[in-house]
Structure 1
Amino acid sequence: MNLVTKHGLPQTVIFCRRCVMSNQRPSTSPEFRKKSSDIGTAAFGDDGICDACRYAEYKAGRIDWSAREKELLELCARHRRKDGSYDVIVPGSGGKDSIFVTHLLKYKYGMNPLTVTWAPHIYTDIGWKNFQNWLKSGFDSVLVTPNPKAHSIMTRLAFLNLVNPFQPFILGQKIAAPRVALQYNVPLIMYGENQAECHNVMGENFSPLMDIKHFTRESTSDRELYFGGVHIDDMAQHGVPLHEMNPYLPLLREDVVKARIEVHYMSYYVPWSPQYNYYYAKEHAAFEPNPDGRSEGTYSKYASLDDRIDGQHYFTMFVKFGQGRAMNDACRDIRDGHITREEGVVLCNKYDGEFPKKYFGDFLGYVGLDEDKYWEVVDSARSPHLWGKDGNAWVLKHQTR
């Protein structure tokens, strides 16, 4: 029986033969182009292996990391300044990955980084503590905090229309650093991990650069911009006039090209390992893991700790695509050789979809919704090919296997 699918998902569910990711997992694309919740999905080969696993195999055996470091040394030499001014911008929150990147650039490669942080919706205590410890380890910072009223409205719209409450954060995460780079005249930006290592097509890993389409538009006449599924010209009707949207608007491509802005991924230059980054950050910047022992919805304790809405991001992902936070963590750990696929299956089936109750009240207050409306929106996002009902309980039809 052919069931209707939502969100542009493939009807047949396939799990990667090496990791635990399914072909329902969304890929990354420019957020400001999204009119609806429809999205592209992770790339799979005819052999049932996802591109992320294929690249992990390639990375382990075919990349000359000494040659990649030479490329990094040449990049740093080209941008390094001798007058004391900043020569590289590192976007981050003070999590394990941004600590690793900034510390490496400053203390190993002699660069002078300026950190740029797009503020979380609502800081967690551990997130704020890790952010402060990051700066105390020797870094200047620009903390970009958007208008809280506008940000909460945009989060509400993104939840109601896309069932993606994290969209406003993702927008700023991509745009804030290039905007600061233009303002400070610092052409080099260094992010951590290329998303293609996890879920986009394999070919994106062979360039160190972020595609400029993620943070630019051709001109001011390009009005095909959507925020929470709402066209830019209609945002004022929802309480966010154009003059309050500056932090979310993509930069003009001409300005970025003229300033010679280059947005690189550190994962191109060094063998990227979240677990290694955790121990590195703990040693060099007093980074602390989740004080609860693990994060809701997964078994891990050291990723995505700074925002009280993080849990809703992963839970809504689970509802829409049938896989969530534990899948993300298990796939990475399998590819890095820390756990087996069999262990990953067990962990996903145990933790994926666990409801993030700790900050649920904070989320409802932030977006101005009651619990009944919340569940109405969430349940409406369940695709019939992924979900069924057993009495009054929703049941996932395709458990990780």
Structure 2
Amino acid sequence: MKYCKKCLMPDTRPGITFNEDGVCAPCYNYEKQKTTDWNKRMEVFEKLCSKYRGKYGSYYDCAIAVSGGKDSTFQVYYIKEVMKMNPVLLAVGNIDWTETGRKNLANLSDTFSCDIISFTPNHNVARTMAKKAFMELGSPTWYADALIYAYPYRMAMKLGLHLLFYGENVNYQYGGKYNEETPSAKLQSLNDVVKPVWDLWLKDGLITEKELDSAKQPTLEECEKHGLEPVYLSYFVPWDTHHNYEVARRWGFRHLGHEYNREGTIEQYNQIDSIGYLLNQYLKYPKFGHASATEMASRWIRAGLKTREEMIPYVKQYDKNLDQGIVDNFLEFTGMKPRDFWHVMDKWYNKDLFEQDRDGVWHERFEVGVGIVK
């Protein structure tokens, strides 16, 4: 277990790479932004938008995949207010919306005067899939993530639209196996957030292929035949988590602290639409030795908001905390018993990173910012 020399991201993050100086790809890529010719990128972006702006008369120019998060507010602000496009907003509804997330989504319509078309998942399928994905993959939001990737593609095509916006390229911005800066989001389903394990869910007969169909993204051939251009806004605009939050606040976005203060995080503005979704984020801790606090601390360090030394104590304090509200939410939704839940949790602890005492409690074998120490 090695840590990036600049931030606090370890090499246990799937797909992340370090250069010969011990700097992780996200830090290196963030520094590259400082030498990018953003004026030239904007010329390309304006040309792309001009291709569709007003093309269909008073009908929508484009679609934006949105949620109740800060980045969605930033995206709609940029596409509608800066680029003067007429977008329709496409959202996948949460089963367990926070009130703050629900209001933030509604704010997109109120503030920017945009139509929102939402997809509400089958609750029975979502419930079954959350439990199965937790037990089989340690990724309880697999189904929700699959819908987030699939639905905007499908709906944009059904609406006859050709330009679809997503926020950032997750692998490039935060680390992953496809560390390539590209404007096209056509291959984002391959970024390993949604592992291609469709047959796994069908084995016990509790889920049918028909029930999962809405979560399947159109093929590359189908997208090309339609002429769909899914693009990352982050390719054309410098992407910074905290900056996006500050911009979003100016357009009515509210952080979760007004409703609920989460344990295990160092902020209250990232991924706030669903309480249950955060279980997925926490599971990175037993599997890889880092979770939400590491992620956000590393982003702040890259942006120059904090230093590596400043953030080590915060990561040590917060990353290991699994919020009880998240557990309660998941147990209520899936019907799992607490003992069964913790038995499955034990399965996901990486024994290279943790050791279990005689009472079943897990302890770190690593020190944040250093690596394995015992």
TM-score by length of 2: 0.92
Aligned to 2:115: 140
Q: Distance in 1 between matches of 2:64 and 2:169?
A: 14
Q: Secondary structure at the match of 2:117?
A: strand
Q: Secondary structure at the match of 1:251?
A: coil
User: Deviation at 1:294?
Assistant: 4.7
1:400 pairs with one of 363, 368, 373: 368
Aligned to 2:8: 20
Once the two structures are superposed, the pairs formed by residues 112-191 of structure 1 within 5 Å of their partners are 112-137=86-111, 138-191=113-166
Structure 1 regions of 5+ residues with no counterpart? 1-12, 27-40, 217-223
The structure 1 segments of at least 4 consecutive aligned residues displaced by more than 6 Å after TM superposition are none
Matched, 1:99 2:70: no
Once the two structures are superposed, the pairs formed by residues 2-401 of structure 1 within 5 Å of their partners are 13-26=1-14, 41-60=15-34, 62-82=35-55, 83-137=57-111, 138-195=113-170, 196-200=172-176, 203-205=179-181, 207-212=182-187, 214=189, 226-227=197-198, 230-231=199-200, 234=202, 237-291=204-258, 294-392=261-359, 393-401=361-369
Q: Distance in 1 between matches of 2:143 and 2:179?
A: 27
User: Deviation at 1:344?
Assistant: 2.0
Q: Secondary structure at the match of 1:189?
A: strand
Q: Distance in 2 between matches of 1:215 and 1:251?
A: 13
Q: Distance in 2 between matches of 1:313 and 1:231?
A: 19
Deviation string 1:6-27 (CA, Å, 9 cap, x unpaired) is xxxxxxx11000000001112x
Q: Distance in 2 between matches of 1:17 and 1:399?
A: 14
User: Deviation at 1:156?
Assistant: 0.9
Letter in 1 for 2:147: G
User: Deviation at 1:133?
Assistant: 1.5
> What is the identity percentage for the equivalent residue pairs of Structure 1 and Structure 2?
27
Deviation string 1:69-124 (CA, Å, 9 cap, x unpaired) is 11111110012124111111111112111111112111121101111111223111
TM-score by length of 1: 0.86
Deviation string 1:193-245 (CA, Å, 9 cap, x unpaired) is 1111111258412x1112436179xxxxxxx9524xx436x25x442222222
User: Deviation at 1:273?
Assistant: 1.6
Q: Secondary structure at the match of 1:307?
A: coil
Tell whether the 8 Å contact from 1:121 to 1:169 is kept in structure 2 after alignment. Answer: no
Tell whether the 8 Å contact from 1:215 to 1:251 is kept in structure 2 after alignment. Answer: no
Letter in 1 for 2:7: C
Tell whether the 8 Å contact from 1:194 to 1:265 is kept in structure 2 after alignment. Answer: yes
Q: Distance in 1 between matches of 2:260 and 2:219?
A: 44
Letter in 2 for 1:261: L
Q: Distance in 1 between matches of 2:47 and 2:135?
A: 47
Q: Distance in 2 between matches of 1:118 and 1:215?
A: 20
User: Deviation at 1:166?
Assistant: 1.3
Q: Distance in 1 between matches of 2:157 and 2:334?
A: 32
User: Deviation at 1:47?
Assistant: 2.3
Tell whether the 8 Å contact from 2:287 to 2:350 is kept in structure 1 after alignment. Answer: yes
Letter in 1 for 2:126: H
In structure 2, the CA distance between the partners of 1:271 and 1:381, relative to structure 1 (3 Å rule), is: same
Aligned to 1:34: none
Aligned to 2:372: none
Q: Distance in 2 between matches of 1:187 and 1:343?
A: 46
Q: Distance in 2 between matches of 1:358 and 1:368?
A: 15
Tell whether the 8 Å contact from 2:70 to 2:253 is kept in structure 1 after alignment. Answer: no
Q: Distance in 1 between matches of 2:253 and 2:282?
A: 29
Q: Distance in 2 between matches of 1:284 and 1:384?
A: 45
Q: Distance in 2 between matches of 1:292 and 1:17?
A: 36
Tell whether the 8 Å contact from 2:186 to 2:229 is kept in structure 1 after alignment. Answer: no
Deviation string 1:22-53 (CA, Å, 9 cap, x unpaired) is 01112xxxxxxxxxxxxxx3111232111111
User: Deviation at 1:368?
Assistant: 2.0
Q: Distance in 2 between matches of 1:90 and 1:343?
A: 37
Pairwise CA RMSD: 2.0
